A and B are shown apart, each in its own frame.
Chain A
Amino acid sequence: MSSGIDLQESFIQILVSLGLPPSLAKLVWMPLPMLLILIAATVSIFIAVWLERKISAAAQQRIGPEYIGPLGALQATADGIKLIFKEDINPAQADPILFTLGPALVVIPVFVSYLVVPFGQNMVITDLGVGIFLWIALSSVTPIGLLMSGYSSNNKYSLLGGLRATAQSISYEIPLALAVLAVVMMSNSLSTIDIVNQQAGYGILSWNIWRQPVGFLLFWIAALAECERLPFDLPEAEEEIVAGYQTEYGGMKFGLFYVGSYVNLVLSAMLVSVLYLGGWSFPIPVEVISGGLGISETTPWLQVITAALGIMMTLMKAYLLVFLAVLLRWTVPRVRIDQLLDLGWKFLLPVSLVNLLLTAALKLAFPFAFGG
């Protein structure tokens, strides 16, 4: 596996050659990828919202947003600007500190989780050894923010919605973690880079989805439940509890919940693509194509193309999954709260345990195919 281009090394070398000390050069470099990912995550919301509106409209044989920007692409921007300029209201009986802190606590872990999303061999903010585990740990912080906003709103619907969201989130975290554990067991590492590299080699044939079909479904269902997407959007079931924990919120505080939910959706889709769909790898390995054409892997322009292709593949796979999630939203009816918890505890949990056990057995029996 070639290392591809290493932007950090080249950037630091350029600065050092300009006369900066290496430590200072690294300090200048450090905020750049973080800023880039922050902007990319924020832009991904606009794309996700536009997709949601357009696909929803298509599913219902409407046109959807049309006038704001080309094909209505700037609709989300208009919504965002409107939310920013709305008055920031604290309900009179609400707890002002917790009411403000709640939405922030929901959004921050989601953005921090982008630390471990890889777009290429060296295109990740940090290649942490605990990688995917960090994401699981961080996503378990979000329910605290939900409980906080549900409680502080001083409204029974909000409290019910917050409690529901938390119950749902901790129930589905367990099958989610067990599905991830089966993948981790095959790749012998928690690092997202290693997980993708373990799926390289035979192109589309070596992706984890063929070796973990049950795990893929489990992970996708649990991830949808974690994002509170429609078959599982009980915390804000509008017929029952108005809007759940969001009931009392308005303006940008409501906007933060909105941002959090879409960033979380895109993040989950990206992690599905990392865990099961080969991450940044092209369906036919780039090495095979370049070898067939007789081009060396270390050719600079080829490396640039490979890197661009990697980013495009990650985003394409992620948005394909977002598309699936939106289609599911208009196809599947909402489950009841007891059905939701039954599905989580009585179906997904046993199935994920069996999946884990089978993976361990297959790993021992066929070490060449299941990562020895």
Chain B
Amino acid sequence: MNLAEGVQIVSLGILGVLMLASALGVVLLSNIVYSAFLLAMVFASISGLYILLNAGFVAAAQILVYVGAVNILILFGIMLVNKREDFQPVANAWIGKAATAAVCAGLFALLSSMVLATPWHLSSAIPAGEAAIEVIGQHFFSDFLLPFELASVLLLMALVGAIILARREYVPDEEPENEQKVLTLRERPRELVAAASNDLQND
């Protein structure tokens, strides 16, 4: 075993432990902000595993998409909502927890039996290495064209949905009581209007 192999094995171990520990943290911690930050660590360690597999482009894309976009949006969602709410203790909460544990254990058993039962064929092809970007691009426009296009349609739908959500304009003069409740999105009434009318009454 030479130096490079040793470094690879050690970093594989470190990344694996890091990934499992932070994934457990995501699930078990009660502070949702910690969970979101730990999720970024999970994604980053997965990207490290990609680097160990000689897939530099996929690793960078993983960081860009998951850490830089998805996780930040999750954090944004948490911090913009930021609703401090004390949860009521639910009676017989252990039933739900036990059911969740059973489902998780079942999934784990299913997946591990699948992993053990499948005869894995290790590819003997030479790793693409630096030329991987071109290979990925050619696959996108030949045999993986349909999934690629479907993903772009999905993103377009999300984009249109986001625009519809962002474009609704609140008209403060209207009385909210007379508004038809069907097919309207719930929105917090603006405190600005209420404060202004209070000032008028006080005057």
Question: Which residues of A does B touch, CB under 8 Å?
Answer: 23, 27, 98, 128-130, 133-134, 136-138, 140-141, 143-144, 147-148, 151, 159, 162-163, 166-167, 170, 173, 190
Contact = CB atoms under 8 A, between A and B. Distances in A.
Contacts of A134: 56, 60
Interface of B: 2-3, 33, 37, 40, 56-57, 60-61, 63-64, 67-69, 71-72, 75-76, 79-80, 129-133
A137 B60 contact: yes
Contacts of B37: 98, 144, 148
A130 B60 contact: yes
Given A130-B57, A130-B60, A190 B133 contact: yes
Given A137-B68, A166-B76, A27 B3 contact: yes
A12 to B, nearest CB: 14
A141 B79 contact: no
Contacts of B133: 129-130, 190
B55 to A, nearest CB: 10
B69 A133 contact: no
Given A23-B2, A130-B133, A140-B64, A147 B72 contact: yes
A144 B72 contact: yes
* A interface majority secondary structure: helix
Contacts of B69: 140, 170
A141 B63 contact: yes
Contact of B72 (A98, A151, A166): A166
A244 B139 CA distance: 45
A172 to B, nearest CB: 13
Nearest 8 CB-CB pairs, A to B? A140-B68, A129-B130, A137-B64, A137-B60, A137-B63, A130-B56, A130-B60, A133-B60
B57 A143 contact: no
Contacts of A163: 76, 79-80
Given A137-B61, A144-B71, 19 more contacts: A23-B2, A98-B37, A129-B56, A130-B60, A133-B60, A133-B61, A137-B64, A137-B68, A140-B67, A140-B69, A143-B68, A144-B40, A144-B67, A163-B80, A166-B76, A167-B76, A170-B69, A170-B72, A173-B68
Contacts of A138: 63
A315 B40 CA distance: 35
Contact of B67 (A141, A167, A173): A141
A170 B70 CA distance: 11
20 contacts: A23-B3, A129-B132, A130-B56, A133-B57, A134-B56, A134-B60, A136-B64, A137-B64, A137-B68, A140-B67, A144-B40, A144-B67, A144-B75, A147-B72, A147-B75, A147-B76, A148-B37, A159-B79, A163-B79, A166-B72
Contacts of A166: 72, 75-76
Contacts of B71: 144
Nearest to B134: A188
Nearest to A136: B64
Contacts of A141: 63, 67-68
Contacts of B33: 98, 151
